[in-house]
Amino acid sequence: MTVRVRYAPSPTGEPHVGNIRTALWSWLHARHHGGVFFVRIEDTDQTRLVPGSADRILESLRWLGMDWDEGPDKGGPFAPYTQSQRLPLYQAAAARLIASFDAYRCFCSSARLEELRNEQRANHQPPGYDGHCSTLLPDEAEARAVIGEPSVVRFRMPDEGATSFTDLLRGEITVENATLDDFVILKSDGFPTYHLAHVVDDHEMQVTHVSRGDEWIPSAPRHVRLFEALGYEVPVYVHTSVILGPDGGKLSKRHGAKAVLEYAQDGYLPDALFNFLAITGWAPDGTTEIMTRDEAIAAFDFAQLNAHPATFDVPKLDWMNGMYLRALPVPVLAEHFAVWLERTLPADVPRPLDRAFVEEITPLVRERVKLLADVTPLVDFFFASDPTPAKADTLLGKPYASRPEVAVATLHAAATALEGIDAWEADAIETALRGAAEATGEKVGDLFMLCRVAVTGKAVTPPLFETMAIVGEETSLARLRAAARVAATE
């Protein structure tokens, strides 16, 4: 039997990480078993559709490097792959269920249903439909529908007994039928609910494994009953655990969780987020954390997933992203840096950036970067066209705050020493500055920091001597002299 799994999102907004993790696990399972992974857009709730959402869902998958074998943009043997284009299938299934007495038309108004809910709340009863229309004779119900009286179609749940199903992660689950009401499968506008639509499509599209969040466990008995009433084989259910925030609460943006494409905008690599999501709730051997896609595919199986909730660990994701960045060859990492810098440097910096220059500075900062967003504040001074010394309070710092005249003399001494070197290279720059410190009687660390802030405008930078070598002799000396003028104003 060929494994066939689907990712079936509703285009009602940006795909969040929990939703995409379910898709990612399905993709891994399909690829591990040499099966089929396809995308189906479930857009039957027309009131909640968000324009452009379906496109962003597909873009999120592409960015993460997850291909699909069939889908709305590719077609396939079970096209169309958008539910709003498959309405006749659902309407025919509903008609079959009515004919077999497994479903019935319900003409209850929204006002009656609201009154029923209020009464149930007042009596401390669980909410649910009371079966008011379940005793209508089929001919009477059909006659009322023919003349245009609004109605929905409800599935008739048994009053007695229990419904059982097996979840791959949790074993057998049994629910008493008396706790489940008759639920809507076809709305008055002719569109199906999720309950009916996914059952029909999973059968028609030969889905072997249904992977979805564990919030769907209470609804699973209804779906099993639908499969059985329609004469369909029930697929393997895999109800995956939720992802919680570090505080144990529901995952949200305050925990650092974002829509997938926001991670791209914030400087994460797709391979890092893919790896992070794959192991958030899955540990193939209990210790491995960094995994290539091929390694993840080789190791993955639905049965290995953890049934307990996982925690969304942003520091771990940042660490992992840094590991992936540092593992890139310098030319590849430099290209990532260049693209990011072109997005974020001031508008007066000429574009496109010189790739050779970016590649030259990349080794200086690669160990300091966890996100692509980290690179800009580390290297922006390399691209400043004019000397821009720091403000006096930043420039002078603690060693020189009370003696700016010493800072002026020290900066001039450093510039003079540097003017005398033969080759503008890191080793020669270091030697000259150490000589200036000895000549002035200043601590080496204090002089280095003074020069660092003078040349870069920052107290935290890549290594000083390599930085000055790349900034260049003319610019470095100009910035030292300009900084001395700033210090002299204090």
Q: Catalytic site residues?
A: 253
End-to-end C-alpha distance for the chain, whole angstroms: 81
SS (HEC) of 414-437: HHHHHHCCCCCCHHHHHHHHHHHH
Q: Where are the alpha helices (DSSP H) in 79-175?
A: 87-99, 110-122, 138-146
Q: Quick one: angle between helices 473-488 and 464-471, nearest 10?
A: 110
Report CA-CA distances (Å) from 302 to 29, 180, 255: 7, 28, 27
Distance CA 240, CA 307 (A): 6
Burial class of 251 by CB neighbour count within 10 A (0 to 12, 13 to 18, 19+) = buried
CB 152 within 8 A of CB 106: yes
Side chain identity at 445, as an amino acid letter? G
Region for 378 from its dihedrals, namely left if φ exceeds 0, alpha if ψ lies in -120 to 50, beta otherwise: alpha
Please give the Cα distance from 452 to 278 (Å, whole number). 42
Count of H-run helices and E-run strands, the chain: 20, 11
Q: Tell how strand 310-311 and strand 243-244 pair up.
A: parallel
